Amino acid sequence: MILFGIPNCDTVKKARVFLDQSNISYQFHDFRKDGLTVEMIQAWLSQVDYSTLINKRSTTWKQLNDHERQAIEQQDLTLLCQHPTLIKRPILQYNKQVLIGFNQTEYQHLIQSNLS
């Protein structure tokens, strides 16, 4: 199980607390420190819609110029790797399943269905 995000994000913190309190072992992958690859994003996109993955409310999105925004909207994954905070957080990847954001019920269901 891998949890992707940035450590100072409040939603990522909630997910980490839930996993820790549930005694679920996971690896934390920091978008900024550990980076992202096009292949990682493509794997997520095999499970979720592109519009679900992009965070247009982020500060990073607001700082992009029109050309960069258009490129992101046209699924320029290389540019997305360069600006990882454009991706909604956290991303929980487990057995090729992907959850975007933190919803305790969804996390519990994913974990229970895969551990039983």
Alpha carbons 90 and 39: distance in angstroms, whole number? 18
- Residue 55's nearest CA partner among 32, 21, 86 is 86
Q: Is 9 assigned a catalytic role?
A: yes
Catalytic residue among 2, 9, 45, 54: 9
Q: Which residues contact 80 (CB under 8 A, 6 or more apart)?
A: 36, 41, 54, 72, 86, 87
Give the active site residues: 9
